[in-house]
Amino acid sequence: MSRFNRRTLMTAGTSLVAGGAFGSLSTAADGGDDEASELPPFEEPDGWSSYYGTAGNTGSVAANGAFPEPETVAWEYDESGYAAVAEGRIYLRTGSEVHALDDGDGSVVWTADGLEAEDDAAYATPAVDGGTVVVGGEELTALDADSGDVQWEQTFDLEDDEAVTSPTVAFDTAFVVAGETLYALDVADGSER
């Protein structure tokens, strides 16, 4: 059975489109037109902040040398799912919940519930941008990274078998595919850019 399906291909398409958009934004920031040259330089996050790790969805994060093999397990957590790691926290998507865990000892910082979604990697991984955790599913939801409180929600006109993909966040913008449309939303308030 093939692991490729419509959502997988749409997620790949999102990566390609967003990657192209990021490339043109960073090129413009290096000396393009006046408006685009005001964009900040693109910096890779320090951590695994979104689906496939970075805004470029490369599946890798730069490291200084090889990763050391752990001698012991520091801690374990009873839930499993798709995770983003940023700024000392692990944001774990487990079906309709997001759990924020301290990455040092595994203690639960907060849990947010009611984020309806099937267990599918195409939209299950949260994305972290500073103080905001953005989560796909039946809608796009932004949570406060410190408390888990909902900051905003964005709904889309979706068919029964469609969902909002895992977001990619860069330049204070969340990029998602909802149905067959690519959206760019302001991370601060969810408004369309």
Provide DSSP, 100-131: EEETTT--EEEEE------S-HHHH--EEETT
Per-residue pLDDT, 111: 95
Give the total residue count for the chain.
193
How far is Cα 82 from Cα 60, in angstroms, rounded to an integer? 16
The 10 Å Cβ neighbour count of residue 50 is 26
How far is Cα 174 from Cα 7, in angstroms, rounded to an integer? 18
Q: What's the angle, vertex CA 56, arms to CA 51 and CA 57, rounded to 5?
A: 30
Per-residue pLDDT, 173: 92
Per-residue pLDDT, 161: 76
Per-residue pLDDT, 69: 79
Series of mean pLDDT values for 10-residue runs along the chain (193 residues): 42 48 47 56 58 58 69 90 89 89 95 72 76 89 95 88 84 88 93 93
pTM: 0.68
Per-residue pLDDT, 170: 86
Per-residue pLDDT, 159: 82
The kind and range of the H/E element at 144 are strand 140-144
The residue among 115, 114, 118, 143 whose CA lies nearest residue 131 is 143
Domain 6-57+78-186: which CATH class?
mainly beta
